Amino acid sequence: MTRTTADVLAEVGRERERQTAKWGVQTLDPPVWLMVLGEEVGEANQAALEHQFPVLDKRAAQDGPRTLDAYRTELLHVAAVAVAAIESLDRQRAGQGTAQP
């Protein structure tokens, strides 16, 4: 199924809502956001790698090889965390009276 940009961005919005419900509103320093984002990128890398090379997937023996659905889900997490980092930065800058770009 082909999704439009608007469809994908709506999915990212729903993931942001899920993250906020789970973690609350987070206002973190930029280096911390980059670490969180890096962890999510790492999970996307792992999902892609395990799809491409099922022999590397320790869960494949019991669950079967990973599909690209897992990769797509991790990419949604990456996008949503990037949005959360921007939201956090905007909150911090607004609190300091710094103009937004």
The pLDDT tens digits for 4-32 are 999 999 999 999 999 999 999 999 999 99
pLDDT, tens digit (0-9, with 9 covering 90-100), for 52-80:
888 877 776 677 777 899 999 999 999 99
Residue 100 resides in a domain: no
Q: What is the DSSP letter of 86?
A: H
Tell me the C-alpha distance between 65 and 52, whole Å. Answer: 9
Q: Is the pTM of this model over 0.75?
A: yes
Which domain range does residue 48 map to? 5-91
Whether residue 31 lies inside any domain: the answer is yes
Cα–Cα nearest to 88, from 25, 41, 44:
25
Q: How many domains does the chain have?
A: 1
Does some domain include residue 98? Answer: no
User: For residue 100, what is the DSSP state?
Assistant: P
Which residues make Cβ contacts (< 8 Å) with residue 85, sequence separation at least 6?
Answer: 28, 30, 33, 34, 36, 37
